[in-house]
Amino acid sequence: MNIVILAAGQGQRMRSALPKVMQILAGKPMLQYVLETALTVSPKTKPVVVIGHGAPLVSQFIAHFAEQNKATSKLSANISTVLQAQQKGTGHALLQALPKLNLSEPTLVLYGDVPLISPVTLRRLIKLADGVAKQDSALALLTQKMADSKGYGRIVRNSADEVIAIIEEKDASPQQQAIQEINTGMMVLPSQHLKRWLKALHVSNAQGEYYLTDVIAMAVKDGVPIRTTQTINAWESIGVNDRAQLAALERITQREIASNLLANGVSLADPARLDVRGKLSCGQDVFIDIGCLFEGNVSLAAGVKVGPNCVLRNSQVGKRVVLQAFSHLDGATISDDCIIGPYARLRPGANLANDVHIGNFVEVKNSQLGSHSKANHLAYVGDAVVGKRVNIGAGTITCNYDGINKHQTIIEDDVFIGSDTQLVAPVRVGRGATLGAGTTLTKDAPANQLTVSRAKQVSVAWQRPEKKMLVKKKLSSKGKK
Ligand code: UD1
Ligand code: CA
């Protein structure tokens, strides 16, 4: 079979510099959903994407997607593109793809701006088109009953309930506009007629475009059977033409993601207050409080508790870890039983072993912390290797940057670092060493000793000055008559 994805339109109603099919839905461009679905439905088919508006950006994305796909999945990474230099309508778009199709096989048409269509629905549609022999396959149309059919093409049926045409809203009479059955855009076409049908399209309609939908009436004339089926879920057929529809579809997508998480045993304090823009995998009995955002690839192992308003991006979290409110993780790897936050910030390369505690206003970047180590308050740990059972006092800072280069700090096992210490990297603190509060460490600290750098404490007799009394000037009576 052939698959053509129409993705050349500008999407004027979005009022955006970005081509419409590149608009982001739950962290991914809309076109990516359609590509993934196409490859799932028919892994052996090389889909043809019709690109046009913003073609360089769209084709760059397709190449990147194909490359990534090759590396991470079994799906075919073969995707071809064809340029529709001027966007003259959906029929004209399909015509551009014609040279790339095998006309002895049916053609499935998908729309880059209808992202949530499911493989299950499409398989049903493909099956519906099957004829006794390949040559007499039918035209299968995916339609949908919508209470508010505004903006969609309407399905026109005769008194025998047979489909006879699709009328675009702008061309429809008031009676036709009242029709609730809409064209989702997706259809399976008998390809042997395509050349003739598409060449016969004209632009005498309200939008002055070559409408693909006009092939329906041609099929009727040619005696090609037209069969219709509906989507499994009504939201699968929602098209995105403006930002309000994109926002509505975002909520639907998030609701679906939340339902899947719940079905897989994840507890959500409120399924409506969670956003996943990427892939979130969860072990058993994970709890996620309100207002959390997950981006990229995030995994939470069994028993993890995520407090309210946390942001996690591309991070792995071990078993029973507690992330307290307002913690921010980006590119972090956290082993079992750690306690993080509230208000902790773990940046790329933060790698915590078991039972590490990272408290409020502590930032960790490109650093390893050994098991049972703690940095509970107000600290910056950057480019450091920290051993086991280390205590990092409040206000400790690794001074890793000299203005030009980054340097490493090494803190060995069982070190105790007093509050408000600056470790001027590169520097090493030996095993079991203690650093006195307020130390500015510029040289290595030997193991098992107390190292302290601070001005000697002195006390002198001292009289605190007293406040001078101001003499108030009397206002002269002259000025006020
Ligand atoms: C289209 C259908 C309408 C249907 C609706 C479903 C036509 C004439 N109308 O209307 O019946 O109810 O989709 O969502 O087909 N495109 C191109 N080249 C073009 C024009 C469009 O590739 O020259 C692509 C767009 O990028 C988009 C898709 O085709 O992905 C649909 O185009 P759009 O302009 O959004 O059509 P609608 O008005 O939504
Ligand atoms: Ca559309």
CB 98 within 8 A of CB 6: no
Based on the fold, state whether residues 233 and 343 are members of the same structural domain: no
Give the model confidence (pLDDT) of 158-212 as tens digits. Answer: 999 999 999 999 999 999 999 999 999 999 999 999 999 999 999 999 999 999 9
337: containing domain: 243-451
Domain identity same for 341 and 379: yes
Please tell me the predicted confidence (pLDDT) of residue 77: 63
What separation in Å is there between the alpha carbon of 151 and the centre of ligand 2?
A: 8
Among the candidates 237, 262, 284, a domain finishes at 237
C-beta 144 within 6 A of ligand 1 = no
* Residues forming beta bridges with residue 340, ordered by sequence position: 323, 358
Active site residues: 377
Closest ligand 1 atom to 241 CA: 35
Of ligand 1's listed atoms, the one at least distance from the Cα of 20 is 26
| 466 is a domain residue | no
pLDDT-derived band at 233, boundaries 50, 70, 90:
very high
467 domain-assigned: no
The alpha carbon of 341 and the centre of ligand 1 are apart by a number of angstroms equal to: 48
Q: What is the pLDDT of residue 89?
A: 97
Q: Is residue 37 domain-shared with residue 53, that is, in the same domain?
A: yes
Query: Closest ligand 1 atom, CA of 19?
Result: 26
For residue 186 the two structure tokens come to 């997706």
- Which of 13, 34, 111 to mutate to test ligand 1, by most ligand atoms within 8 A of the CB atom? 111
Which ligand minimizes its atom distance to the CA of 20? 1
Q: In 3D, which of 176, 200, 197, 202 has the Cα closest to residue 187?
A: 197
Kindly state whether residues 217 and 319 are assigned to the same domain. Answer: no
410 in a domain, yes or no? yes
Residue 51: the pLDDT is 98
Residues 33, 115 contacting (CB under 8 angstroms): yes
233/320 same-domain check: no
Task: Give the separation between CA 391 and CA 359, rounded to whole angstroms.
Answer: 12
Residues 328 and 422 in one domain: yes
Q: How confident is the model at residue 10 (pLDDT cuts 50, 70, 90)?
A: confident
Mean pLDDT of 350-372: 98
Task: Please indicate, yes or no, whether residues 183 and 295 belong to a single structural domain of this protein.
Answer: no
Q: Which atom of ligand 1 is nearest to the CA of 112?
A: 30
User: In the prediction, which pLDDT does 457 show?
Assistant: 93
Domain harbouring 161, CATH code: 3.90.550.10
Please give the distance, rounded to the nearest whole angstrom, from the Cα atom of residue 47 to the centre of ligand 1.
18
Residue 135 has pLDDT above 70, yes or no: no
The rounded distance, in Å, linking the Cα atoms of 176 and 193 is: 27
Angle ∠(281,303,312) on CA atoms, nearest 5 = 45
Mean pLDDT of 47-68: 96
Task: Give residue 115 CA to ligand 1 midpoint distance, Å.
Answer: 13
Q: By percentage, how much of the chain surpasses pLDDT 90?
A: 93
User: pLDDT digit string (tens) for 67-91?
Assistant: 988 877 765 668 999 999 999 999 9
The pLDDT value recorded for residue 481 is 44
Question: CA Rg, the chain, in Å?
Answer: 33
Is the peptide bond prior to 426 cis by the omega test (within 30 degrees of 0)?
yes
Which pLDDT score, from 0 to 100, does residue 137 have?
Answer: 87
For residues 217-224, average pLDDT: 97
Considering the domain architecture, whether residues 417 and 372 belong to the same structural domain is answered as yes
CA dist., res. 352 & res. 337, Å (int): 10
Residue of 90, 205, 207 best suited for mutating to test ligand 1, as the one with most atoms within 8 Å of CB: 90
Domain count, the chain: 2
* Measured distance CA(352)–CA(338) in Å, rounded: 8
Ligand 1 touching residue 50 (CB < 6 A): yes
pLDDT in tens, 426-464: 999 999 999 999 999 999 999 999 999 999 999 999 999
CB 94 within 8 A of CB 4: yes
C-beta of 318 in contact with ligand 1 (< 6 A): no
Q: Are residues 263 and 146 in the same domain?
A: no
Q: Rounded to the nearest whole angstrom, what is the distance from the C-alpha of residue 154 to the centroid of ligand 2? A: 13
pLDDT category, 469, cuts 50, 70, 90?
confident
Average pLDDT over residues 209-217: 98
State the burial class of residue 480 (Cβ atoms within 10 Å of its Cβ: 0-12, 13-18, 19+): exposed
Which amino acid is located at 447 in the chain? A
Residues 33 and 83 in one domain: yes
Instruction: Examine the domain organization and report whether 23 and 108 are in the same domain.
Output: yes
**pLDDT for residue 473:** 61
Ligand 1, atom 1, residue with closest C-alpha: 185
SS (HEC) of the chain: CEEEEEECCCCHHHCCCCCHHHCEECCEEHHHHHHHHHHHHCCCCCCEEEEECEHHHHHHHHHHHHHHHHHHCCCCCCCEEEECCCCCCHHHHHHHHHHHCCCCCCEEEEECCCCCCCHHHHHHHHHHHCCCCHHHCCEEEEEEECCCCCCCCEEEECCCCCEEEEECHHHCCHHHHCCCEEEEEEEEECHHHHHHHHHCCCCCCCCCCCCHHHHHHHHHHCCCCEEEEECCCHHHHCCCCCHHHHHHHHHHHHHHHHHHHHHCCCEECCCCCEEEEEEEEECCCCEECCCEEEEEEEEECCCCEECCCCEEECCEECCCCEECCCCEEECCEECCCCEECCCCEECCCCEECCCCEEEEEEEEECCEECCCCEEEEEEEEECEEECCCCEECCCCEEECECCCCECCEEECCCCEECCCCEEECCEEECCCCEECCCCEECCCECCCCEECCCCCCCCCCCCCCCCCCCCCCCCCCCCCC
pTM for the complete prediction?
A: 0.92
Does 464 fall in a domain? no
CA-to-CA separations, 306 to 167, 210, 303, 377, 414, in angstroms, rounded: 51, 52, 10, 20, 29
- Whether 428 maps to a domain, the answer reads yes
Q: What is the mean pLDDT of the chain?
A: 95
Kindly state if the Cβ of 84 falls inside 6 Å of ligand 1. Answer: yes
From the CA of 103, how far away is ligand 1's center (Å)? 23
Q: Report which protein residue has its CA nearest ligand 1's atom 14.
A: 239
Measured CA to CA, the distance from residue 461 to residue 325 in angstroms comes to 48
Ligand with minimal distance to 92 CA: 1
Helix 55-72 and helix 30-41, axial crossing angle in degrees, nearest 10: 50
